[in-house]
Chains A and B, each alone.
Chain A
Amino acid sequence: MISHLVILWTDALIFLLLVLALAFGIYASRKPHLRRPWGLVVRSRVGVGTLVVLVFYLIVGLLDSIHFHPLSETSDAAGKASRSSEVISLFDSMVSGLRARQEKTYSAPLATHLYAKESIELADGSTIRDFPRLEHGGSHLSDPGQKPADLVRLSAIGILKGLAVSMVAANCLIILLAVAARSNFGNQAKAVLTASTEIPWRVVLVVLSIMLVLIFWSAELASGYHLLGTDKVGEDVLYQALKSIRTGLVIGTLTTLVMLPAAIMLGIMAGYFRGWVDDVIQYIYTTLNSIPGVLLIAAAILMLQIYMSNHAEEFNSLVERADLRLLFLCIILGVTSWTGLCRLLRGESMKLREVDYVQAATAFGVGHLQIIGRHILPNVLHIVLIAVVLDFSGLVLAEAVLSYVNIGVDPSMNSWGNMINSARLEMAREPIVWWSLAAAMIFMFTLVLSANLFSDVVRDAFDPRLHSSR
């Protein structure tokens, strides 16, 4: 199936970020001062619960970040499969059903008929104006009246499947835990279920089961219907919402990747060296801060748009074009958002440079670079981490806002912001089309809420001031 990988810019960066995160994880696991707070995070019930939700989002995002040209089904004369110019992701091919089942226009969630009346030619040759049957949604039913029974049946199958899978997952987990703890299965199961384990595995299992049941239930329903309806051009809204996950994650994470080096380097330099270095850096970020961020973003995106329309031939596909715009958006968001962290780090380094151990290092004749690398950076790392996690949900929301005012991602790219943007007209329509907006809200809300709860836990775990009171 995968014939020719296409590595988009953002894909490459996402996997780079993944590698960096893994490397940091390995580094952190060797340093008790970093391992301990993470230990606190996974010992918190909210922490693990939200982590499970976030992992599901992450998996979808990562699957959606492996792009390739699919083999086209139409074979040419020589009988060889040819590559299509279309670029799809691994996720697309997994949910190809959702992608392929296009309707004509709007249809409500789980509907069997279109949302707009059309002239239908009846068998006897006469035409009437009515809601026509959908091409795919509920097409397996001979009579739309069977829908409720069919829904119940599909739901039951989906929920049972979900339960079965979560049982298997729970057992696997308990077996793994039992092996790790060198106890037998029964004891371990008891420990997990009575929540007497150090890491709240019961919460993990509960959240995991809920997610699995939801997924299987919706998969089952989505196989026969449009679970969240279709949009104006008849595309499945569930598919759009799922595709938007990647966009949200890319914005939330890549932006920090762009911003971190500048923020860390400049912040520490300003705080450590003081003097004219401090003056210059402060001047830069004060200036940058006083330009309205939205204006800067709008200007940059408009410039990029003009460039892209003038050099259309440089882009192989629409996807690549949209991707470049996404990357650019990340960069420009990063440029406007590094100042906050930079300021924090400047203050902290200013404090640290006067601390006795830095003075002691100076008294040993240790060089500046080494002092920064050995004493300052490790001691501000927790601030960086807290800032990154806290910024994430803000950036996801920022994307939605920017797309809403049309300076966000490319209109052809699926994103919650674009969905909300199109909902602007749909809400004004009579009867209103609410499901696009609702779908975007549900997915975004879940992600942002879990990210916020998770970042709260992370901040609590890393904030040294909160430990003394425990």
Chain B
Amino acid sequence: MGEMLLKIKNLKTRLGDADNPVYAVDGVDIEVRRGEIFALLGESGCGKSMTALSAMRLLPPSGCIVEGEAFLEQTSLLDLPEREMRRVRGGSMGMIFQEPMTSLNAVITIGDQIGEAVRLHDPDNRENVSRRVIELLRSVGIPDPERRTLEYPHQLSGGMKQRVMIAIALAGKPRLLIADEPTTALDVTIQAQVLSLLKELQRRTGMAVLLITHDLGVVSEVADRVAVMYAGQIIELAESRTFFRQPLHPYSRKLFRSLPSLSKRGQELAVIEGSVPRLNQCFNRCRFLERCDQAQDICAQQEPGWSETAMGGGVRCHLFSALPGPLTRPEKVLMEKQQEIQKPAGSLLEVEGLRVHFPIHKGLLKRIVGHVRAVDDLSLSIARGRTLALVGESGCGKTTAGKGILQLIRPTAGSVRFDGEELTNLPAGKLRSRRADMQIIFQDPVASMNPRMLVGEIILEGMQAQRIGANRVQRQARVKDLLDQVGLPADAAERYPNEFSGGQRQRICIARALAVDPRFIVCDEPTSALDVSVQAQVLNLLKELQQQRDLSYLFITHNISVVSYLAHEVAVMYLGRIVERGSVEEVLQAPRHPYTQALLSAVPEIDRLQQRSVIRLEGDMPSPANPPRGCHFHPRCNQAIDRCRSDYPKPVRLSPTRSVSCFRVDQG
């Protein structure tokens, strides 16, 4: 170790034309050593991808490198002619991207796609490409590689595709692998697989990895060193272990405190106010100034320089010498203390045996040949003022369940009783007036608002439909009230949604939902598209509103730390059914179902105090169109017994709040 592999010096990259420049990367210095995993951590839009693309010279047409140097060993990357550069890309430097679905060509078999890379970048193996392809596939852990080479990308699952991408990147035997958010689009269980694969490859082949991510958990899981990027600059650099013990920059410290977790229940999350400054300006002050609570006069007067720390790291802050010591972590509080006063459990929503099946049409006459059982026999109940978290991987039917409960998709069977009234057979007119009580907040803050409407109109829409407020004036006043409640200025009503950032948009969506005075809100992954610091704002707001208005939430998510922070009860869903249900403490502390156990173990944790062992789940979730016989989970379960293959286990009640569907639990 120690030998320098990639060295980027004072890199400045500009987007847009010279008249209206945006300095996406503004003076970045990075050194990646041979054989290490170097993480570049930062929120969206801080320039981390642009840094990597600049080094690869793959900038979008509007971008150009204004200043700086980049060396791969002795080669100056920015001076190479394009012909030579093409050999470096995919040769010495491989790259994998965030979205494995769009990174592969859909009409070429994966064998050919990997073979192409081999032929281009691996002169030794030009004779026996197919052997090398199989070797590569095997090295990224794809079972039965001989057969897979003949398959097309659509026949592979997301995790498999990302492995194929890694195999392509490995074809040139790179010394440096740039991984741009390689696991962001994947589920936690798959993420765990891919991360461990990356780590293993790095160990085995001795290549270095430049890992670009926004996820602190991923960083703590695999990285040796970490650089934190903010507004186009590196603001902190440290050994990974040092960083997690003692983050120095106020921004890094706040990031840690804004992470939701079980230990922070009942408290407000630390919030980084405001948002990343726009990069089309000249800075002569600290870029973090507006959001820093330790800011002093000097921070506003000059840009902080780079200060080296003892252990080879560094930080960009004026207050470097005065920065505090190790992060104090709240002790793991005992569960008893956490237990909130149990509210009288007046059940607001009762769902029983909910089924949502989508018919599969085939052939000329579009006959129904089967059903996608998106939601299959789902039962749950939510009490007034409580939060039930519905947890599961993508494709397990969480969102469909939410929409089925709200009757946005009419369920195939089952009953949904809201406040004692059966919704499934309610006529359209009556249902329409009932809708004021139940609302939904969506995952994507961009798609959830009509870009052609003013924010005021968007919030008014529900009120008009539900005839809330006697006249225009009253409604307008209410819009102002709502905006105020979610922490937005009143003049926001006169603007368009695209003028707001992701977090602000999500607040507008919350305001829109609140406009009709609902008692129950389905929150469909409301924070998964947001950055950590913004996520904290939204979670705080949701929690506060629940207390003020006695709201009930069905919180659909795959993020376990959010669950542990916010939810009262958890239901874990697998392939359309709930496999385990109970209070947060019960489920998260002592999961009983093998799937829950695997899911929880796969979540990357920041506290690496106790070494945890990841339960590796082999393969992917089967298709809900033809679920496996018996227990849906048995093909991936490492504790499966014979009975699991033939029968679906009935839920076993373990405590008043808890039930598990597993034969092993039944046995004791």
Are A and B part of the same complex? Answer: yes
Contacts from A to B (Cβ < 8 Å) = 31-33, 355-357, 359-367, 370, 374-375, 378-379, 469-470
Q: Bound state CA distance, A33 and B461, in angstroms?
A: 20
Q: Given the known A-B contacts A378-B452, A379-B452, are A361 and B461 also in contact in the complex, defined by CB atoms under 8 Å?
A: yes
- B440 with A360: CB separation less than 8 A: yes
B466 touches A365 (CB 8 A): yes
Assess whether B433 is interfacial by the CB under 8 Å rule: yes
Contact of A365 among B62, B432, B496 (CB under 8 A): B432
Given that A32-B496, A357-B448, A359-B403 are contacting pairs, would A364 and B462 also be in contact in the complex, using a CB cutoff of 8 Å?
yes
Contact in complex: A469, B461 (CB < 8 Å):
no
Residues of the B chain whose Cβ atoms lie less than 8 Å from the Cβ of A33: 451-452, 496
The distance from the CB of B400 to the nearest CB of chain A, in whole angstroms, is: 12
Closest-CB distance, B594 to chain A (whole angstroms): 34
A residues near B440, Cβ cutoff 8 Å: 359-360, 363
Q: Are A362 and B461 in contact (CB under 8 A)?
A: no
- Partner of B447 from the list A356, A362, A363 (CB cut-off 8 Å) is A356
> What is the bound-complex CA distance between A375 and B452, given in angstroms?
8
Contact of B408 among A363, A367, A375 (CB under 8 A): A363
What distance in Å separates the Cβ of A401 from its nearest Cβ neighbour in chain B? 36
Picked from A362, A365, A375, A378, the residue with its CB within 8 Å of the CB of B436 is A365
Task: Look across to chain B and name the residue whose beta carbon is closest to the beta carbon of A279.
Answer: B366
Instruction: Check: B512 CB closer than 8 A to any chain A CB.
Output: yes
- Residue from A360, A363, A364 with most neighbouring chain B CB atoms (10 Å): A363
Chain B stretch 14-68: residues in CB contact (< 8 A) with chain A? 60-62
Per the bound structure, the CA–CA distance linking A8 and B143 in Å amounts to 76
Task: Name the CB-closest residue of B to A357.
Answer: B450
Closest approach, in angstroms, between the C-beta of A36 and any C-beta of chain B? 11
Name B's A-contacting residues (CB within 8 A). Answer: 60-62, 403, 406, 408, 431-436, 438-440, 442-444, 447-453, 458, 461-462, 465-466, 496, 509, 512, 516
Contact at A366–B461, with CB atoms within 8 Å?
yes
In angstroms, how far is the closest chain A Cβ from the Cβ of B442?
Answer: 4
A356, B448: Cβ atoms under 8 Å? yes
Residue of A31, A33, A362, A367 with most chain B CB atoms under a 10 A cut-off: A362
Inter-chain CA distance A361–B458, complex, in Å, is: 9
| A362-B516 CB under 8 A given contacts A32-B496, A379-B450 | no
Nearest to B444 among chain A residues (CB) is: A356
Query: Quick check: B439 and A363 within 8 Å, CB to CB?
Result: yes
Consensus secondary structure, chain A interface: helix
Residues of A within 8 A of B61 (CB): 469
Quick one: which of B462, B496, B509 has the most chain A CB within 10 A? Answer: B462
Q: Tell me if A365 and B447 are in contact (CB < 8 A).
A: no
In the complex formed, the residue of A with least CB distance to B498 is A33
Q: Which residues from chain B contact A378 at a C-beta distance below 8 Å?
A: 450, 452
Q: In the complex, what residue of chain B is closest to A32 when comparing beta carbons?
A: B496
What residue in chain A is nearest B467 (Cβ atoms)?
A365
Please give the distance in Å from B105's CB to the nearest CB on chain A. Answer: 20
Q: Would you call A469 and B465 a contact (CB within 8 A)?
A: no
Residues of B within 8 A of A32 (CB): 496
B448: A residues at CB distance < 8 A: 356-357, 360
Chain A neighbourhood of B465, CB < 8 A:
361, 364-367, 370
Closest to A468 in B: B60
Nearest CB of A to B182, in Å: 23
Q: Which residues of A contact B432 (CB under 8 A)?
A: 365, 367
Docked pose: A360 CA to B512 CA in angstroms: 9
Q: How far is the CA of A470 from the CA of B449 in the complex (A)?
A: 24
CB-CB under 8 A for A355 and B60, given A364-B462, A365-B431, A365-B466: no
Give the residues in chain B near A363, CB-CB below 8 Å: 406, 408, 435, 438-440
Instruction: Determine how close the nearest CB of chain B comes to the CB of A196; give it in whole angstroms.
Output: 11
Which residues of A lie under 8 Å from residue B403 when comparing CB positions?
359
B421 to chain A, nearest CB (A): 15
Q: Which residues of A contact B452 (CB under 8 A)?
A: 31, 33, 378-379
Chain B residue numbers with a CB within 8 Å of A359 are: 403, 408, 440, 442
Determine the distance from Cα of A366 to Cα of B453 in the docked complex, in whole angstroms: 15
Q: Are A362 and B408 in contact (CB under 8 A)?
A: yes
Docked-complex contact A375 and B62, CB < 8 angstroms: no
Contacts of A360 in B (CB 8 A): 440, 442, 448, 509, 512
Known: A357-B449, A379-B451. 20 other contacts (CB 8 A): A33-B452, A33-B496, A357-B448, A357-B450, A359-B408, A360-B509, A363-B406, A363-B435, A365-B432, A365-B434, A365-B436, A366-B461, A366-B462, A367-B432, A367-B465, A378-B450, A379-B450, A379-B452, A469-B62, A470-B62
Bound Cα distance from A360 to B443, whole angstroms: 12
- Whether A356 pairs with B442 at a CB distance below 8 angstroms is yes
6 nearest CB pairs, A to B: A365-B432, A356-B448, A364-B462, A365-B435, A356-B442, A378-B452
The chain B residue sitting closest to A33, CB to CB, is B452
Whether B450 pairs with A375 at a CB distance below 8 angstroms is yes
Taking the closest CB of chain A, its distance from the CB of B361, in whole angstroms, is 12
Instruction: Give the residues in chain A near B462, CB-CB below 8 Å.
Output: 364, 366
Query: Hey, which chain B residues are within 8 Å of A469, CB to CB?
Result: 60-62
Chain B residue, CB-CB nearest to A352: B450
A365 proximity list for chain B (CB < 8 A): 431-436, 465-466
Q: Which residues of B contact A470 (CB under 8 A)?
A: 62
> Which residues from B are CB-within-8-Å of A361?
461, 465
B454, chain A: closest CB distance, angstroms: 10
Q: Which residues of A contact B439 (CB under 8 A)?
A: 363-364
CB distance from B128 to the nearest CB of A (A): 41
| Shortest distance between the CB of B453 and any CB in chain A (Å) | 7
